[in-house]
Amino acid sequence: MEWTLALLFVISILLLFISLGSTRRNAKKEQNEIDMIHMALMKEINDMQGAIRNIELDLEVIAKEAGVQLSDDEKLLMREILDLYKRKYSIESIAEKKQVSVSKIEQLLTPHLTSKDERRKAANEN
């Protein structure tokens, strides 16, 4: 009986060590998977930042070649107005929201309104 208890005790210790080793291997495997996902995500973020940087440079080149000189405040206002217009806000509500006259909003949106009308005409002609 004593030998049986001692043998069971030794077997339980042996199984404990095997279990700990298995757990450690699984933890390393999971950590490697997490690291791989992290590296892929960081690469994707860096690629996106590079693409954004290139777009910003392209826009700067286009603006300089077109001769358009807008201050940062004017760029921000134009961006916000275009965003609201693209989201189907009316010109009156945009003017009210930005506290600018309706005529000023129409003046700023004129290049974008005419190109939209021209596309409609071209589509309807076919």
Domains of the chain, by residue range, sit at: 1-69, 71-126
The pLDDT assigned to 117 comes to: 47
Query: Mean pLDDT, consecutive 10-residue segments, the chain of 126 residues?
Result: 90 94 95 97 97 90 78 85 90 91 88 59 56
pTM: 0.53
Report d(CA 31, CA 37) in Å as an integer.
10
The pLDDT assigned to 122 comes to: 52
The pLDDT assigned to 121 comes to: 56
The pLDDT assigned to 120 comes to: 54
The pLDDT assigned to 47 comes to: 97
Report d(CA 114, CA 3) in Å as an integer.
96
* Measured CA distances, 21 to 11, 31, 34, 35 (Å): 15, 15, 20, 21
